């Protein structure tokens, strides 16, 4: 699964840049900006004039649905298997019958999951770098400009690991854990959409961790005004990692102090 996610995300990022090279938006940008509804403009991470540049379009690849789905696939599959998956298939009793600490079961499993997140993020950046290098652009951009987006992508994966493992600690089967996670993700995504589209509901952004996932904004901001966006880059990434770590600590505490039910 990890190899497939890495290759797919790299291929998607390269293919996306190839498609970007075939479309000239310079002349169409003013027309698009005029006909685009206002609520759609509020959902964009940066103004449309910046988003249609090469830097904006390349960085926005980290916010595309396939990119997010591949990261979610890895983190949810691994996180829900950590506890609920083993309880549901009956292997947890056999594992705990061995001379191994419960905390070790969580940390070893989570360590591999974190390594996978880092690899997926690295391959996403490699796909971007290959696209910038091999696809013909009149004014190519440096691949290092998109390292902030890759870092934010990895930190987003860290937050997903914590959420998936926490739902795994709550559930008794993998199916339940996946259901809990999907419900959580839908609520978080809905809060972000409402906060962006409804000015009166902007306070909802404080209820979702997805507010801290802004790879395009951070990339463009650090390129144009590093003094202003440098602290924001660290704040967003530390927040994502902190929330993921807190969820992992809670999940580990719950698991280490609970009775193990009989397998379903």
Task: Tell me the per-residue pLDDT of 110-146, one tens digit each, with 9 for 90 and over.
Answer: 999 999 999 999 999 999 999 998 887 777 788 999 9
Lowest pLDDT segment from 3-17, 26-40, 243-257? 26-40
pLDDT grade for 26, boundaries at 50, 70 and 90: low
Three-state secondary structure readout of 53-102: CHHHHHHHHHHCHHHHHHHHHHHHHHHHHHHHHHHHHCHHHHHHCCCCCH
Q: What pLDDT was estimated at residue 52?
A: 82
**Residue 11: predicted pLDDT:** 96
CB 152 within 8 A of CB 62: yes
The pLDDT score that the predictor gives to residue 28 is: 64
CA distances from 50 to 17, 47, 59 (A): 16, 6, 11
Neighbours of 161 (CB within 10 A): 27
Percentage of the chain beyond pLDDT 70 is 94
Instruction: State the pLDDT at residue 262.
Output: 56
Check whether 235 has a pLDDT greater than 80. Answer: yes
- What is the predicted pLDDT for the residue at 67? 95
Kindly indicate the confidence band of residue 261, based on its pLDDT and cuts at 50, 70 and 90.
low
Within 8 A by CB and 6+ apart from 69, the residues are none
Cβ–Cβ < 8 Å for 252, 79: no
User: Two tokens at 194?
Assistant: 């409402």
Q: Write out pLDDT tens, residues 68-117.
A: 999 999 999 999 998 888 888 878 878 888 888 888 989 999 999 999 99
d(CA 57, CA 115): 28
- CA 263 from chain centre, in angstroms, equals 32
Give 200's pLDDT tier (boundaries 50, 70, 90): confident
- Gyration radius from the chain CA atoms: 20
- Mean pLDDT score of the chain, rounded to an integer? 89
Residues 6+ apart with CB under 8 A from 62: 124, 146, 149, 150, 152, 153, 215, 216
Given pLDDT bands bounded at 50, 70 and 90, which one contains residue 202? confident
- The pTM of this model reads 0.92
What is the rounded CA–CA span in Å between residue 16 and residue 48? 18
């Amino acid at each position: 699964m990890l190899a497939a996610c890495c290759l797919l995300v790299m291929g998607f990022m390269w293919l996306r840049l190839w498609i970007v090279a075939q479309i000239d938006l310079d002349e169409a940008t003013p027309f698009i900006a005029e006909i685009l509804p206002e609520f759609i403009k509020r959902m964009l991470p940066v103004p449309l004039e910046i988003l249609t540049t090469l830097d904006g379009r390349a960085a926005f690849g980290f916010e595309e649905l396939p990119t997010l789905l591949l990261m979610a696939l890895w983190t949810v599959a691994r996180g829900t298997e950590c506890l609920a998956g083993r309880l549901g298939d009956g292997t947890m009793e056999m594992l705990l019958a061995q001379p191994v600490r419960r905390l070790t079961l969580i940390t070893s499993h989570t360590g591999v999951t974190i390594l996978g997140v880092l690899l997926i993020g690295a391959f996403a950046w490699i796909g971007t770098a290959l696209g910038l290098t091999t696809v013909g652009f009149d004014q190519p951009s440096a691949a290092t400009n998109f390292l902030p987006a890759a870092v934010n992508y990895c930190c987003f994966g860290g937050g997903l690991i914590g959420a998936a493992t926490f739902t795994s600690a709550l559930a008794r089967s993998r199916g339940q854990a996946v259901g809990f996670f999907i419900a959580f993700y839908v609520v978080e995504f809905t809060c972000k959409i409402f906060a962006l589209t409804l000015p009166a509901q902007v306070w909802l952004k404080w209820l979702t961790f997805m507010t801290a996932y802004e790879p395009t904004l951070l990339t463009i901001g650090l390129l144009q005004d590093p003094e202003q966006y440098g602290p924001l880059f660290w704040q967003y990434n530390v927040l994502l990692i902190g929330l993921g770590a807190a969820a992992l600590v809670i999940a580990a505490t719950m698991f280490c102090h609970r009775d193990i039910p009989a397998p379903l």
